[in-house]
Amino acid sequence: MEKPENTENKILETGEKKKGSSVTAENVAFVRALESLKPEGERICYDPYAVRFLSQQYLMFMKMAARDPSRTPFPGVHNSLSARVRYFDDFVNRAIDNGVCQLVILGAGYDTRAYRIEGLRGKVRVFEIDHPGTQSVKMEKIKDIFGSLPDHVEYVSVDFEAGNFGQQLIEHGYEKSQKTVFIMEGLIYYLPLKTVDGILSFIAKNSGIGSAIIFDYVHESSIDRTDGICGVQCTACDQNEIKNATKDMAKQGEPYKFGIKEGMLESFLAQRGFSHACNVTSEDYKKAYFHGINESRPVCCLSYFAHAVVK
C-alpha cells in the first residue's frame, strides 16, 4: 500500500487540533483506539470509547495502521502506552476491591475510566481535572456519547501551573478524609518541578488513610530542558523513535519539563510524604502483559510507572 504523502506528520503536527485542546491527549486516545481494534485476548488494553475522541485525520490514520501495522507510528512508544493504560486500569480495579471512595484523575484528557470501569459508578466519586480547553471538548464529547454527563463524575477545570487546583477540587466536593486514588497518567513530565511539588504536597496533606498515587515519569537525565526533547536511545525502539516522538510533542506546545533522578524515586516520594514506593520498568510490564502473539512487540524504555501510598 502506498503511503499518502506526509500523512503522519500532518496528523501529528496539525492534527485538526480543536481550539485550546491538548494534542497529546488525542495522541493517547489514538493509541487506545487502535489497540482496542485487536481481538479480545490479543489486545493489551481496551477502551471502546477512545475512537469517539479522534478527529477525521486520526481516524483515517487509525484505519491505515489497522490494515498495515508496520505503519503504526512509534511502535515501541505505542506498545508502552497500551501497557500503561492496562497497568493503571488494573491498579484502579484493585483499589475498588480495597474500598477506595474517590478517584481523582489529574490531567484527565480523554481518559474514559470513569465511564468504562465497572465498579466505579455508584461506589466511587470521580473527579476529572484538566485544562479548561481540553476539558470543555471532553465534556461535549461525553454528552454526545451518553446523552448527558454522568452523576458520579465531577469536572474541575484548572491550569495546574496556576497553583490552586486543591482549592478548586475541594469546592467541587472532594472529601479530604476519604480514601482516594490520584492518577497522573501522562502528566507530570509536562509540568515544572514547582507545580509537581504543589500537587504532591496537596495530596499528602489532604487525603484519607490508605490513599495512593499512581503516575508515570521519565529520568531527569533524559530530558533536554532547553527544547523539552528526550534524548534517550531505547534499544527496543528504532534509533531515534523517542527523540522524534518527544520532538513532535514539544512542537505541539507540550514539551517535557520534569524528570526524577535515576534511582531516586523512593527518596523523592519519601521527602514529599509518600511511602511504599513501587517502580515499574519496561521489562516488568513487558513480562506481565506481552505474551504469545504479543511477545515480539517492542516496548520503549523511556518512561516508568510508579505508585506510592500517602504516609
Ligand X SMILES: C[S@@+](CC[C@H](N)C(=O)[O-])C[C@H]1O[C@@H](n2cnc3c(N)ncnc32)[C@H](O)[C@@H]1O
Residues that bind ligand X (CB under 6 A): 22, 24-25, 28, 107-111, 130-131, 134, 159-161, 185-187, 190-191
CB 160, min distance to ligand X, A: 4
Between 35 and 185, CB nearer to ligand X: 185
Between 28 and 65, CB nearer to ligand X: 28
CB 183, min distance to ligand X, A: 7
Between 112 and 282, CB nearer to ligand X: 112
CB 286, min distance to ligand X, A: 19
Between 22 and 72, CB nearer to ligand X: 22
CB 309, min distance to ligand X, A: 21
What does the alpha-carbon distance between residue 116 and residue 201 come to, in Å, rounded to a whole number? 30
Is the separation of the CB atoms in 49 and 115 below 8 Å? yes
The string over 297-307, giving b where at least 16 C-beta atoms fall within 10 Å of a residue's C-beta and e elsewhere, is bbbbbbbbbbb
Between 227 and 266, CB nearer to ligand X: 227
What does the alpha-carbon distance between residue 229 and residue 296 come to, in Å, rounded to a whole number? 27
Q: Identify residue 13 by its one-letter amino acid code.
A: E
CB within 8 Å of 226: residues ≥ 6 apart: none
What pairs with residue 216 in β-bridges? Answer: 305
Closest CA to 160 of 185, 190, 181: 190
CB 177, min distance to ligand X, A: 26
CB 259, min distance to ligand X, A: 15
Between 93 and 208, CB nearer to ligand X: 93
Dihedral, CA of residue 238, residue 243, residue 246 and residue 248, to nearest 10: -90
CB 149, min distance to ligand X, A: 18
CB 114, min distance to ligand X, A: 12
Phi, psi of 180 (to 5 degrees): -135, 145
Is the separation of the CB atoms in 243 and 252 below 8 Å? no
> What DSSP string runs through 226-259?
TTTEE-PPPTTS-TTHHHHHHHHHHHTT------
What does the alpha-carbon distance between residue 51 and residue 241 come to, in Å, rounded to a whole number? 24
CB within 8 Å of 84: residues ≥ 6 apart: 185, 186, 216, 285, 303, 305
CB 29, min distance to ligand X, A: 6
Between 75 and 107, CB nearer to ligand X: 107
Between 122 and 255, CB nearer to ligand X: 255
Between 75 and 186, CB nearer to ligand X: 186
What does the alpha-carbon distance between residue 178 and residue 263 come to, in Å, rounded to a whole number? 31
At which residue does the C-alpha cell 510533542 appear?
249
